[in-house]
Structure 1
Amino acid sequence: MPLAPDALAPLTFLVVDDEAFMRTLISRVLKGLGAATVIPCEDGRAALDIVPTGADVILCDLNMPGMDGVEFLRHLTQTPFMGAVVLISGEDQRVLSTAENLAKAHDLNVLGALSKPITPAGLSDLLAKLGDDGLAGRRRQGPVDRITEDDLRRGIENDDLVVFFQPKVRVRDRKVVGVESLVRWQHQTRGLVPPMAFIPVAEDLGLIDALTDSVYAKAVRQGGRWLTAGHDIKVAVNISVDSLTRFDLPEMIVATAAAEGLDPSHIVLEVTESRLMHDIRSSLEILTRLRLKGVGLSIDDFGTGHSSLHQLKRIPFTELKIDRAFVFGAARDPAARAILDSSVGLARSLGMSTVAEGAETQEDWDLVESLGVDMVQGYVVAKPMPADQFDAWLTAWEA
């Protein structure tokens, strides 16, 4: 999306670079894009004195004498800064990517990173995200307030959990072949609560099975409706490793699907190992029995956490979901592209289908298509949405 006219005029930009020439160049580029207020600063320490007076966007060099850009980012998190960050460097791309990941780990609103010399087009593309995501002037988001046990129990008992669906689109013909079912909580006072606020609570308190049963039942009910309407869509549901000690899980999965008219082959269980499998014998038995019954198994967020090559070796997965860290922007990140390419080759050699998760741009789509990825799931196709919105979107997509 191009930068809107006059979008930058109300914002204050802070340019932190030890080279006078670069400060001047970046300031001129910003003003050429419509910025009215640009404050040049020669080092990180001086910049920290300016930040509290008000800055919407900070453009920061990494390699500076004294306080370098990486140290500056750490100190920036201790200030009341509420804006966005653009990283700039003449270092190699891997150093730049690592610094970008570090800034995100600090919960800073990172628009992206640019190699020197910067270009008006490159900077304009990053600053366009200010309008897309509302990053300017937004306070950094800390951890979401976690839900209490009593609150969560009431939410499950009152059937307050809702399911959003994000499409999986086959790359070769752009056909919608599946969805991932994503839980949200329509809280009576907090509004729509994201899963990060309550899934860990459910796992810690032993409520994850009840939560999973509710989400799964709603997801397959919708899958049955789609099948009746003539849409052959596989339904994927996330399963916590904490649920892989339930010996009745395979029967529950198949019976619940059958009650909605779905064959087990229409079901995919996505396993994300955010936590280690403590009882590997039970987990292996349950996952193997699910495969024997025809249920698909997906290793989610491959390349992160405990989702490893070892798990691919010992568990009969049918689908490999490549984490967004290796998809979004991989066309401009050689390391991410290499991992993406090798993951696709690995999956192909194991007879598994691949899903590129987190693709957001046409550039991402073009790359995964050229590498032979089977399916794409990400904002380049559609965001997660409730079932009624999904139906309207599907009609428009197929048209």
Structure 2
Amino acid sequence: MRSQFPTYGRSELGVWNAAVGAANHELPLVADIERGLDSQEFKAFIQPKIHLPDRQVVGGELLARWNHPTRGFLPAGEFIPVMVRHGLIDSLLWSLFEQALTLQENLKCTDVLVPISLNMHPEQLANNNLVARLVNEIEKNNVSHNSIIFEILESATLPVSSDACKNALHLRRAGCGLSLDDFGSGYSALERLIVLPFTEVKLDRTFVQRIQDDFQVEAVISCALTLTEKLGMSLVVEGVETALQYQRLTQLGVQYAQGYFFARPMPSEIFIEYCGKFGRATSRGGTRLLSECERSVSWSPTYKA
């Protein structure tokens, strides 16, 4: 009887065994991640987004940290790639999303309400049920839609589907912001700017790191600023770490930035205090929000299925 399973040559078999070995090596970590999700060990840290002319906070990016019982706080690079490969990324999104809603509720007690950004994988944007549930939860918790921004990774090389376009429009019509993260780090950035209704573009940190040494980088930043202004979007430069970088960005006319020069990611309770000292109202923040008229307008994107 002929085998139902494929046969492999020597080189193919080596690749297969290596893949199986890598997967098996990850299994203990996967089990630990699942335990950590159940135990609510994944915590939201927030890095402020700054308005450069007056250095006031106008938003915050929510970043995942794993408060591991034996290893302490672990950065996202320690667990997110494994989560993506093993189908656990949605569970992380929901955990962080719930923390974002709680944070917005706590910010209501202050004089400042700033939008909070969450990272979303392109596959998640194409998930109709997931996006519908996100919108419903925002409404159920009585949180202003324009206080939540979803950042889509530009570096992910997945094609933009029709479902992703429809869901992006759904989020925009609901009032949520949509940000293109790590702009300039992948091959499809300009295409995604055309096919998805972004409100904000975040320039990858590799550009600002070379700003003092390369006049061509300054030209790229200036062009990105002009492009986003023409498209009615905000530009946020990531990775600002020095006073010189801050000064050059200000001279170029950049309005918004993030980086260690201003503040490192911080726990939610510290971020609330930070906003109380340096905060700015959402209506004056760095993210362009949809007007009631814009929400009612139909939009037909061009996409590649």
Q: What is the TM-score of this pair, normalised by structure 2?
A: 0.78
Which whole-Å CA distance do the structure 1 matches of 2:57 and 2:188 have between them? 26
Tell me the SS of whatever aligns to 1:176. Answer: strand
Alpha-carbon offset, residue 396 of structure 1: 4.8
Q: Is the 8 A contact 2:118 2:149 kept in 1?
A: yes
1:166-185 equivalences under 5 Å are 166-185=47-66
Q: Is the 8 A contact 1:168 1:376 kept in 2?
A: yes
Q: Is the 8 A contact 1:203 1:242 kept in 2?
A: no
Which whole-Å CA distance do the structure 2 matches of 1:379 and 1:391 have between them? 18
Q: Is the 8 A contact 1:304 1:323 kept in 2?
A: yes
Distance 1:239 1:306, change over 3 A: farther
1:271 aligns with 2:152: yes
1:253-272 equivalences under 5 Å are 253-272=134-153
Tell me the SS of whatever aligns to 2:240. Answer: coil
Alpha-carbon offset, residue 249 of structure 1: 2.9
In our comparison, the structure showing a higher alpha carbon Rg is 1
Which whole-Å CA distance do the structure 2 matches of 1:356 and 1:275 have between them? 19
Which whole-Å CA distance do the structure 2 matches of 1:181 and 1:293 have between them? 20
Alpha-carbon offset, residue 395 of structure 1: 4.4
Query: Which runs of no fewer than 5 residues in structure 2 stay unpaired?
Result: 1-24, 280-305
1:59-82 Cα deviation digits (max 9, x unpaired): xxxxxxxxxxxxxxxxxxxxxxxx
One of 212, 232, 237 as aligned partner of 1:356:
237
1:288 aligns with 2:197: no
Which whole-Å CA distance do the structure 2 matches of 1:187 and 1:370 have between them? 43
Equivalent in the alignment of 1:196:
77
Which whole-Å CA distance do the structure 1 matches of 2:253 and 2:141 have between them? 34
Select between 258-267 and 213-222 the one with higher mean Cα deviation.
Answer: 258-267
Q: Is the 8 A contact 1:272 1:299 kept in 2?
A: yes
Alpha-carbon offset, residue 297 of structure 1: 0.5
Which whole-Å CA distance do the structure 2 matches of 1:307 and 1:216 have between them? 27
Identity percentage over the alignment? Answer: 34
Which whole-Å CA distance do the structure 2 matches of 1:333 and 1:152 have between them? 42
Which whole-Å CA distance do the structure 2 matches of 1:277 and 1:161 have between them? 26
Equivalent in the alignment of 2:107:
226
Counterpart residue identity of residue 212, structure 1: L
Count of residue pairs brought into register by the alignment: 254
Tell me the SS of whatever aligns to 2:97. Answer: helix
Q: Is the 8 A contact 2:154 2:189 kept in 1?
A: no
Equivalent in the alignment of 1:246:
127
Alpha-carbon offset, residue 363 of structure 1: 1.4
Q: Is the 8 A contact 1:277 1:283 kept in 2?
A: no
Equivalent in the alignment of 2:283:
none
Which whole-Å CA distance do the structure 1 matches of 2:160 and 2:32 have between them? 29
Which whole-Å CA distance do the structure 2 matches of 1:389 and 1:291 have between them? 29
Which whole-Å CA distance do the structure 2 matches of 1:246 and 1:362 have between them? 42
1:1-399 equivalences under 5 Å are 148-278=29-159, 280-306=161-187, 308-397=189-278
- Ranked by relative contact order (alpha carbons within 8 Å, sequence separation 6 or more), the top structure is 2
Distance 1:230 1:306, change over 3 A: farther
1:346-370 Cα deviation digits (max 9, x unpaired): 1111110111111111211122222
Distance 1:259 1:367, change over 3 A: farther
Alpha-carbon offset, residue 285 of structure 1: 1.6
Q: What is the TM-score of this pair, normalised by structure 1?
A: 0.60
Which whole-Å CA distance do the structure 2 matches of 1:297 and 1:321 have between them? 11
Alpha-carbon offset, residue 307 of structure 1: 5.0
